[in-house]
Amino acid sequence: MGLFTGKTGLVFGIANDHSIAWAITEKLHAEGAEMGFTHLPDKDPQRPRMEHRLRKLVEPIGAKLILPCDVQQESHLDQVFAQAKETFGSVDFVVHSIAYAPIEDLKGQTINCSRSGFLTSMDISVYSLLTLARRSRDILKPGGSILTLTYLGGEKVIPGYNIMGVCKAALERLVEYLAHELGPAGIRINGLSAGPIKTLSSSAVGDFDSMLKLYDAMAPLRRNVTAEEVGKTGAYLLSDLASGVTGEVLHVDAGYHIMGAPPADMHT
């Protein structure tokens, strides 16, 4: 019997097999969970690449629901939650693994971010959690749990992370306010702050490879984390093992976030 035997949930944010949401899904599936998934709507319905990529991954693990969802479209969210209610009745967990900033605003200095770029980034990367949480409240069982993904760039200045760091700062505070408001219903919400992992999204962040090298040299464990490690801790936070944990941001980064200066062996 697995940790998630008899449990159901929704996962938002699998783009491909490198996605962090996929690593979390693999672990949840291994522990017995049954899940529904969303993908970004395909621009050309004749060539549904997003849908195909997701189907290829989640059909073999018995996906109960596969739906298009752009979190900027309230009608898409209405559809997803209505279908989830029909399929599952109620669910035990919701995974939010979504972030986006227009590339020109992400690459440029934060001070030059356009108003529209700022609003789009905040809408997709932060407001989406708020609206998902509000809708999830209606179908989550007491004891249910929500998980979002964040990064150290929301706490400290990470050059190159720019406007996304501002989004993550807002996201982490949102986790706390939502934890306060959902707690009386027995619903938990937490953030997982992952170390750098090569994915479609992270390839858009400036100088990603040197970030991997820095973690390798500076993190207490002297290495980077794997997607599997992030998946394991994600599953833990969503599971009953974390029944007393809410409003938390848990770092899965080989300890990098505690360092204030490079270790002595970094220079040798």
Closest separation in Å from C-beta 5 to ligand 0WD: 26
Q: How far apart are alpha carbons 35 and 136 in whole angstroms?
A: 14
Angle at 238 between CA 125 and CA 96, to 5 degrees: 15
Q: Does 117 bind ligand 0WD (CB under 6 A)?
A: no
Amino acid at the residue 57: L
Closest separation in Å from C-beta 178 to ligand 0WD: 16
Which parts of 131-160 interact with ligand 0WD (CB under 6 A)?
A: 149-151
* Choice from 10, 11, 20, 235 touching ligand 0WD (CB under 6 A): 20
In this structure, the dihedral spanned by the alpha carbons of residues 210, 22, 139 and 48, taken in order and rounded to 10 degrees, is: 110
* Choice from 25, 199, 224, 239 touching ligand 0WD (CB under 6 A): 199
Q: Does 202 bind ligand 0WD (CB under 6 A)?
A: yes
Cα-trace Rg, the chain: 18
Q: How far apart are alpha carbons 126 and 71 in whole angstroms?
A: 10
Q: Does 98 bind ligand 0WD (CB under 6 A)?
A: yes
| Nearer to ligand 0WD (CB atom), residue 139 or residue 147 | 147
Annotation says 151 is catalytic: yes
Other Cβ atoms less than 10 A from the Cβ of 78: the count is 11
Annotation says 127 is catalytic: no
Residue 117 vs residues 5, 128, 130, 160, 165: alpha-carbon distances, Å: 42, 16, 19, 16, 14
Q: Does 51 bind ligand 0WD (CB under 6 A)?
A: no
Q: Does 194 bind ligand 0WD (CB under 6 A)?
A: yes
DSSP state at residue 14: -
**Alpha helices, DSSP H, located in 123-264:** 128-139, 162-182, 208-218, 227-238
81-89, 108-116, 192-200, 216-224 -> range binding ligand 0WD (CB under 6 A) = 192-200
Of the residues 100, 127, 151, 236, which is catalytic?
151
Of the residues 161, 215, 236, 256, which is catalytic?
161
Q: Return residues touching ligand 0WD (CB under 6 A).
A: 13, 15, 18-21, 40, 69-72, 97-100, 124, 149-151, 194, 196-197, 199-202
The residues carrying an active-site annotation are 151, 161
